[in-house]
Structure 1
Amino acid sequence: MSISTLPGLFISHGSPMLAIEPEQVGPALHRLSINLPTPRAIVVMSAHWESQALEVSTSSRPETWHDFGGFPRELYQIRYPAPGDIQLAERMIQMLEQGDMPAHANSLRPRDHGVWMPLLHMYPDAEIPVIQISLPSHFSAAQIYQVGQILAPLRDEQILLIGSGSITHNLAELSWAEEQASTPEWASGFRNWVVHQLSNDDFAAVLNWQQAPHIQRNHPTLEHLSPLFFAMGTGPRFSLVHSSFSLGALGMDLYRFD
């Protein structure tokens, strides 16, 4: 079987309800997956695994973690039983060590919804090994970008690298009772600024996120934007796969890096 190069992806995973109410982004994720060579393995950095040190999941069969509350019962019945890949995880730790980015093995971490929820739409059979990598809360944007750069060679081995977060993420500003609410300018303006910079190969501007318009309103905390920095490190060529908003101000963009 020939080995194909896969892209790096940034996925806005949205509300946990995406698992059962896919809106526009669920079909977009499905279309994306069927247009890619089938991965040998998938590596995901999720906004929902913040850590002190950089960690890599070495579990052979991580549990599906429903790391949220107050949603319909059927959401808590979903399982995503994809295996892990201990050998690949240990190799990733070696790659990071060689890149002066020490990482630690974690065999106990369950899979949070930032991992399994988008993969439900992309690879619903849950047969492809999935490895999760943590998001160190003290890392700068440049350091997270460097993690993506160190792991980027895995793309040449038909391994899919994903940063799972959200292009905008201010839960206090969402129109929870009105799914078709109009998108405020502060959200669309921020999203358009990011896409403009990436489209013009100005990755440095995005890594210097403090200058972005309405940054505090779109990201009161940075953990849902940080996986974008990881995805940016995986490849220098940006393309926009999908763009939409949910609940008014929740950006659901999908980006590809080759």
Structure 2
Amino acid sequence: MMPSYFFAHGAPSIVLEDNAYTQLLKHFKEHAPKPKAIVLFSAHWEETVQNVSAAETYETIYDFGGFQDELYQMTYPANSDRSLVEQIQKLFEQQGIQNVRNEERGLDHGAWAVLKLLYPDADIPVVALSVNRNLPNEQQYQIGKALAALREQDVLIIGSGGTVHNLRKLNWRSGGIDEWAEQFDSWLQNKLEAWDTEALFRYRELAPFAQEAVPTSEHFIPLLLAMGTGDSNRQAKLLHRSYQYGNLSLSCWQFN
């Protein structure tokens, strides 16, 4: 069964960087079977109703400003997969999850920056999925769980976001790591490895420095979505964690 993953996408410039985290992503395909298709939840696509992307060939969305010129020249012209889109919609409908097909939207940087590092040739079909910060955490998990059957069909499911993602607290000159960010991520690691969903769903009230780490939930939600796909086996493994700018976490979780 294909594992699912959570990848932090950091700043858009991550796709140009060379560090331990980007090396992990660049060499990911060497240690994992090539998927038949990729299903990706992006923190940068927010909708109040679950959207399922179905563009024939995706345009590249540059949903950021002030970064290197080279980023605005990059493209990721992946194709969708109509049969997979239909299957995803059917799986959602079976669980009572309202959804709509979106044939217009391209891939935002939460999707293409990660995919560019993982599979730079853009030769694997991609279905992007939106997130909805208005839903309770239990329901986020259930949305991921609804797609678990896809893992048996060699479909790679990815949540793209960030566990500690507070742009107002970034320290662009810092060479160290803020203790509050580490404390939040350590708490998170403990609960994920124990598959303690009761605590995870209540992270805002239970986790140390939750408000600092997760001022808004859209970047955290993809973690719960990816985790939900692993509900049958309930095994979580931290593959990498590092930080940029004092507290912006770059983490990768695998769910089996």
Give yes or no for TM over 0.5: yes
Instruction: Provide the identity percentage.
Output: 39
Matched residue, 1:108? 104
Deviations 1:23-42 (A, max 9, x none): 22111112333211100000
Where does the alignment leave 5 or more consecutive residues of structure 2 unmatched? none
Residue 185 in structure 1 maps to residue 183 in structure 2: no
Distance 1:207 1:22, change over 3 A: farther
Matched residue, 1:240? 238
What aligned pairs does 1:112-131 form with structure 2 within 5 A after superposition? 112-131=108-127
Aligned residues: 252
Q: Specify the code of the residue in structure 1 equivalent to 2:236.
A: F
Residue 214 in structure 1 maps to residue 209 in structure 2: yes
Q: Specify the code of the residue in structure 2 equivalent to 1:152.
A: A
Structure 2 counterpart SS, 1:253: strand
Superposition misfits of 4+ residues, deviation over 4 angstroms: none
- Separation in 1, partners of 2:52, 2:198: 27
Matched residue, 2:149? 153
- Separation in 2, partners of 1:40, 1:257: 18
RMSD: 1.0
- Separation in 2, partners of 1:203, 1:35: 29
Q: Specify the code of the residue in structure 2 equivalent to 1:247.
A: Y
- Separation in 1, partners of 2:173, 2:109: 22
Matched residue, 1:12? 8
- Separation in 2, partners of 1:199, 1:229: 13
Q: Does structure 1 retain, via aligned residues, the 8 Å contact 2:239–2:254?
A: yes
Matched residue, 2:198? 204
Q: Does structure 1 retain, via aligned residues, the 8 Å contact 2:40–2:159?
A: yes
Matched residue, 1:55? 51
Residue 251 in structure 1 maps to residue 249 in structure 2: yes
- Separation in 2, partners of 1:106, 1:119: 20
Q: Does structure 1 retain, via aligned residues, the 8 Å contact 2:133–2:217?
A: no
Matched residue, 1:226? 221
- Separation in 2, partners of 1:184, 1:141: 26
- Separation in 2, partners of 1:24, 1:66: 25
Q: Does structure 2 retain, via aligned residues, the 8 Å contact 1:203–1:232?
A: no
Q: Specify the code of the residue in structure 2 equivalent to 1:249.
A: N
- Separation in 1, partners of 2:146, 2:235: 17
Q: Specify the code of the residue in structure 1 equivalent to 2:117.
A: H
Q: CA deviation at 1:132?
A: 0.4
TM-score, length basis structure 1: 0.95
Matched residue, 2:164? 168
Structure 1 counterpart SS, 2:5: strand
- Separation in 2, partners of 1:177, 1:183: 11
Greater shift in the superposed pair: 19-28 or 69-78: 19-28
Q: Specify the code of the residue in structure 2 equivalent to 1:194.
A: L
Match of 1:132 among 96, 105, 128: 128
Deviations 1:103-160 (A, max 9, x none): 1101111100011101111111110001101102311111111111000110000000
TM-score, length basis structure 2: 0.96
